[in-house]
């Protein structure tokens, strides 16, 4: 059993106060330790998720952060998998606990994508996170590559720009109930459709923002929580998979096949099916990617029909991204997957932000991330603990 003993998130935004990634990581881990009622000396290992050294100018960040946190002596590692970095860091911690090499592991995801560099510089760097030879060095951008996949998805499924816009509207409306959110906007479908085109079919309001921030979770073996909180959520299944980095090499550019495999592996480990999921945090770097993700994860037999009927709204059959997702809560890449796991745990425990707490007492939650255009996919399933 792997318990989520403590969680914490900083605000996701653009930092203008002179603070840096080390400050945010320290703040998040300290708060997660307090939530777990643990001290730094209780921690056996630290896993740090950070997508790029270019954002921080710090190679080997895990050792530096361990020193800042008073965790010298703990085993340290840094995990990187593009947008899946945070989720993969959680998986690395789960593996350590299940293998018996650690009993209590701190996981922190942190990224500084909003404040240190210009938008143009970050856009160029993100191009290198796909296939650098065929994409980044030829000037292809993340938005253009996602747009190619989304265009093919629209042609196959019948999805429209209005469907994508509704995703952006709903997630940012959800973010209005999240005090940590970067873009808690009161927008409409017309607002999204009127925003400037970035790469058709995606417009500015279809895209997630560049954000700064950190998130942390403390994971522990079932018998290794000094003052165990009753009802703590547990991680019951993890799965990851990969696809070709270059879209042109794939058979179906519109299908997130790696995500399907990752979900199958997580479900096999947990002994659950997609039908058991009550609430989910889905990787929505772009609005259409949320619909593509729901399809790939098998969370609906007719994604568009259910989307249009409100099934994924806060009061729907399967609430999606009550945090606001990347579109609303924000997207400090290394922190996203860790934040999703933290959010799912808080939802299962009934401890999330009051106005964003799922009202249906969920028993099982899903956290989903990917790097590239679903090139590296990672899925985590969580279950509610015993009261």
Domains in the chain: ranges and CATH: 2-117+210-221 (3.40.47.10)
Report whether 212 contacts 43 (CB < 8 A): no
What pLDDT is attached to residue 57?
A: 87
As a whole number, the mean pLDDT across the chain is: 95
How far is Cα 177 from Cα 330, in angstroms, rounded to an integer? 14
**Averaged pLDDT, 175-180:** 98
- pLDDT for 105-126, tens place per residue? 999 999 999 998 888 888 888 8
Sheet containing strand 75-79, edge to edge, reads 75-79, 45-49, 104-112, 212-221, 2-9, 234-242, 376-383, 364-371, 279-281
pLDDT band at 341 (very low <50, low <70, confident <90, very high): very high
Beta bridge partners of 234: 3, 383
pLDDT band at 231 (very low <50, low <70, confident <90, very high): confident
pLDDT digits (tens, 9 = 90+) for 295-331: 999 999 999 999 999 999 999 999 999 999 999 999 9
d(CA 24, CA 386): 32
Checking phi first, is residue 78 left (phi over 0); if not, alpha (psi -120 to 50) or beta?
beta
Name the packing angle between helices 142-157 and 119-128 (round to 10°): 70
Q: What is the pLDDT of residue 356?
A: 96
Note the pLDDT of residue 126: 87
Predicted confidence at residue 229, as pLDDT, reads 63
Note the pTM of the prediction, 2 decimals.
0.97
pLDDT of 226 over the 70 cut? no
The predicted model gives 185-209 an average pLDDT of 97
Digit-coded pLDDT (tens) for 56-95? 889 999 999 999 999 999 999 999 999 999 999 999 999 9
Residue 83 phi, psi (nearest 5): -65, -15
Mean predicted confidence (pLDDT) in 177-203: 97
The confidence band for 208, taking pLDDT boundaries of 50, 70 and 90, is very high
**Is the confidence at residue 167, as pLDDT, over 60?**
yes
Q: CA 220 to CA 268: how far, in whole Å?
A: 22
Question: pLDDT value at position 144?
Answer: 95
Residue-level pLDDT at 210: 94
Torsion sign over Cα 65, 69, 75, 79:
negative
Question: Pairing relation of β-strands 279-281 and 364-371?
Answer: parallel
- Cis before 326? omega within 30: no
Q: How far apart are CA 172 and CA 168, in angstroms?
A: 6
Return the axis-axis angle of helices 61-69 and 21-36, rounded to nearest 10°.
Answer: 50
Nearby residues of 180 by Cβ (< 8 Å), 6 or more positions away: 9, 10, 11, 12, 213, 329
């Amino acid at each position: 059993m792997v318990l989520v003993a403590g969680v914490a998130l900083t605000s996701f935004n653009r930092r203008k106060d002179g603070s840096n990634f080390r400050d945010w990581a320290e703040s998040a881990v300290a708060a997660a330790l307090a939530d777990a009622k643990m001290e730094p000396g209780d921690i056996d290992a630290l896993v740090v998720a950070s997508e790029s050294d270019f954002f921080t100018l710090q190679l080997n960040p895990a050792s530096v952060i361990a020193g800042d946190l008073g965790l010298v002596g703990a085993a340290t590692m840094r995990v990187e998998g593009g947008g899946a970095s945070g989720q993969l860091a959680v998986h690395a911690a789960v593996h350590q606990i299940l293998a018996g090499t650690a009993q209590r592991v701190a996981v922190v995801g942190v990224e500084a994508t909003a404040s240190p560099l210009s938008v143009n510089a970050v856009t160029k760097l993100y191009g290198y996170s796909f296939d650098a030879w065929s994409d980044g060095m030829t000037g292809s951008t993340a938005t253009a590559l996602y747009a190619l996949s989304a265009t093919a998805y629209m042609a196959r499924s019948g999805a429209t720009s209005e469907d994508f816009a509704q995703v952006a509207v709903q997630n940012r409306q959800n973010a209005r109930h999240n005090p940590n959110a970067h873009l808690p906007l009161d927008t409409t479908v017309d607002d999204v459709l009127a925003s400037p085109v970035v790469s058709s079919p995606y417009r500015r309001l279809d895209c997630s923002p560049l954000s700064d921030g950190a998130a942390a979770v403390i994971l522990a073996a079932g018998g290794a929580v000094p003052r165990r909180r009753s009802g703590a959520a547990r991680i019951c299944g993890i799965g990851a998979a990969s696809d070709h980095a270059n879209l042109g090499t794939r058979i179906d550019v519109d299908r997130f096949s790696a995500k399907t495999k990752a979900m199958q592996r997580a479900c096999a480990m947990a002994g659950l099916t997609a039908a058991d999921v009550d609430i989910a945090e889905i990787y929505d770097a772009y609005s259409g990617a949320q619909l593509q993700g729901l399809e790939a994860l098998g969370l609906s037999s007719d994604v568009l029909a259910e989307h249009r009927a409100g099934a994924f709204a806060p009061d729907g059959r399967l609430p999606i991204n009550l945090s606001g997702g990347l579109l609303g809560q924000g997207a400090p890449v290394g922190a996203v997957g860790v934040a999703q796991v933290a959010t799912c745990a808080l939802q299962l425990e009934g401890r999330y932000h009051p106005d964003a707490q799922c009202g249906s007492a969920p028993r099982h939650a899903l956290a989903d991330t990917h790097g590239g255009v679903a090139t590296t996919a990672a899925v985590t399933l969580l279950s509610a603990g015993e009261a």
